[in-house]
Amino acid sequence: MASRIQIPATKYPVERFTLANGLRVVLSPDRSAPVVGVAVVYDVGIRSEPEGRTGFAHLFEHLMFQGSENLEKLAHFRHVQGAGGSFNGSTHLDYTDYFEVLPSGALERALFLEADRMRGPRLTEENLRNQVDVVKEEIRVNVLNRPYGGFPWLKLPPVMFRTFANAHDGYGSFEDLESATVEDAQGFFDRYYACGNAVLSVAGDFDVAEATAMIERHFGDVPARPAPVLPDFAEPGLDGERRETYVDRIAPLPAVAAGYRVPDPIGSFDTYLPFSVLAEVLTDGDASRLVERLVQRDRSVTSIGGYLGFMGDEYQVRNPTALLLQAHMPPGGDAGKVLRTVDEELDRLVADGLQPGELERTQARMSARLLQGTDEVLGRALPMAVLELQRGRPGLLNELPRLLGEVTAEQIVTAAATLRPESRATVEVIPGAAA
């Protein structure tokens, strides 16, 4: 019997209830420091946006900060920062989140602000045009005028997938963004920003009874609208290796990324979890297999990383998703040779199994990162909200370190055996800056 690392589960308390209007609430009290994290997560992301409206989920995230039913533009910023807090929002493949971290005495302020924009943001022509310009500038800065911009999270999905939901550019085309109307924005809000399509999560220093009364007071009268039926994200598996290259005019050196389909992260979680550990066995740290072989011994790449999910949110993503490997190469690097070496190392792992201590070392590091992440109130509020949204299981956050420690060497080998060239999509960056 192989040794198994023992990692304790965390014991953050979890209280769940649902308001009459359908809003789900998760509370995780912790009186150890006078701070609270508040998160509101809506079940709408890049994959949900309609054809002809690429980038709309992200654009709408911006619009949610442009004032609301009772508050003018920038009031949200002023009220949170005036209380000594910080705030933000982000768009993902499968959800959009909004969050604040504040001194615990300002909890009611954050609840009022989130409830107010849940009733309705200020969707005006001026706000829309202004934020379309902001998003276009973001695309220029983060994608068009940055070396390796969008690599691989924007560049690999259209190679790997065939359906619009999974393959399109989530940042959006300028044409789609510019043609968006206030009516489009209102329709998007009415459909997806419903109480029944959202989760409110609070973690940190609060009294459960007091917080529940505040939540009832601020969110209880938000009009009830049911959650929409999610679009169908189903995607057939790869029927052979798919490879594409593109020239990045400002990239100085070549790069390559490969994606392999993995099991359903929600419906087949037990078979999905070993892939998470496998990605780390392959690429995390100097002793990992692909770093040791490709970086240190062969010197065919300068760096290599591996992770699950195109945006790295491995436990907060729906099916279909992928295990990704991405590598940057020295001048004249040979992507084909790198991929063949990856195949060799995977074959060796499948044939010979793991080295003594290899799995335990990886599990300890992964679990330590998870435990460190949940130290902060937002590191509990945000993932608990998404786990409730997607699985109805916010307490999974407590169990993840232990579950990772229970993954066996046999499960890792079984997972590695599925990463075959014929089930792989790759995208290669040809550097344009060198020319």
Task: Please indicate, yes or no, whether residues 108 and 158 belong to a single structural domain of this protein.
Answer: yes
Over residues 413-424, the pLDDT tens digits come to 999 999 999 999
Mean pLDDT of the chain: 95
Report which of 316, 381, 401 is spatially closest to residue 29, judged by C-alpha positions: 381
| DSSP state letter for 289 | H
**The predicted structure's pLDDT at residue 435:** 59
| DSSP state letter for 252 | S
- The phi-psi region of residue 115 (left if phi > 0; otherwise alpha if psi is between -120 and 50; otherwise beta) is alpha
**Amino acid letter for position 99:** F
Measured CA to CA, the distance from residue 47 to residue 25 in angstroms comes to: 24
Confidence class for position 85, pLDDT limits 50, 70, 90: very high
Task: Please indicate, yes or no, whether residues 21 and 163 belong to a single structural domain of this protein.
Answer: yes
Q: Is the peptide bond before 263 cis (omega within 30 degrees of 0)?
A: no
Q: Is the pLDDT of residue 434 over 70?
A: no
The arrangement of strands across the sheet holding 242-248 comes to: 242-248, 424-431, 255-261, 322-328, 303-308
**The predicted structure's pLDDT at residue 323:** 98
Record the tokens describing residue 267, joined without a space. 């419906």
Task: Please indicate, yes or no, whether residues 247 and 382 belong to a single structural domain of this protein.
Answer: yes
CB 195 within 8 A of CB 222: yes
- The proportion of the chain whose per-residue pLDDT surpasses 70, expressed as a percent, equals 99
384 is a domain residue = yes
24 is a domain residue = yes
234 is a domain residue = no
Confidence class for position 298, pLDDT limits 50, 70, 90: very high
108 is a domain residue = yes
**The predicted structure's pLDDT at residue 111:** 98
Q: What is the mean pLDDT of residues 224-234?
A: 91
Over residues 112-149, the pLDDT tens digits come to 999 999 999 999 999 999 999 999 999 999 999 999 99
Confidence class for position 1, pLDDT limits 50, 70, 90: very low
Q: What is the mean pLDDT of residues 202-212?
A: 98
**The predicted structure's pLDDT at residue 232:** 87
- Provide the residue range defining the domain that includes 67: 15-220
Q: Is the pLDDT of residue 87 over 60?
A: yes
Report which of 262, 298, 294 is spatially closest to residue 425, judged by C-alpha positions: 262
Task: Please indicate, yes or no, whether residues 39 and 165 belong to a single structural domain of this protein.
Answer: yes
- The proportion of the chain whose per-residue pLDDT surpasses 90, expressed as a percent, equals 94
Task: Please indicate, yes or no, whether residues 169 and 116 belong to a single structural domain of this protein.
Answer: yes
**The predicted structure's pLDDT at residue 4:** 67
CB 424 within 8 A of CB 153: no
Which residue matches tokens 């020295």? 330
Q: Is the peptide bond before 8 cis (omega within 30 degrees of 0)?
A: no
Pairing between strand 35-42 and 242-248? unpaired
Record the tokens describing residue 369, joined without a space. 């990162």
Q: What is the mean pLDDT of residues 312-332?
A: 96
Please state the pTM of the whole predicted model.
0.96
Over residues 15-73, the pLDDT tens digits come to 999 999 999 999 999 999 999 999 999 999 999 999 999 999 999 999 999 999 789 98
Count of domains for the chain: 2
Domain-terminating residue out of 163, 190, 220? 220
248 is a domain residue = yes
Task: Please indicate, yes or no, whether residues 256 and 213 belong to a single structural domain of this protein.
Answer: no
Task: Please indicate, yes or no, whether residues 250 and 390 belong to a single structural domain of this protein.
Answer: yes
Task: Please indicate, yes or no, whether residues 49 and 177 belong to a single structural domain of this protein.
Answer: yes
Report in angstroms the alpha-carbon separations of 343 from 10, 277, 400: 37, 18, 29
Task: Please indicate, yes or no, whether residues 194 and 277 belong to a single structural domain of this protein.
Answer: no
| DSSP state letter for 144 | I
**The predicted structure's pLDDT at residue 433:** 75
Over residues 378-394, the pLDDT tens digits come to 999 999 999 999 999 99
Q: What is the CATH number of the domain that holds 308?
A: 3.30.830.10
Measured CA to CA, the distance from residue 317 to residue 311 in angstroms comes to: 9
Domain-terminating residue out of 187, 220, 253? 220
Task: Please indicate, yes or no, whether residues 190 and 284 belong to a single structural domain of this protein.
Answer: no
Task: Please indicate, yes or no, whether residues 176 and 265 belong to a single structural domain of this protein.
Answer: no
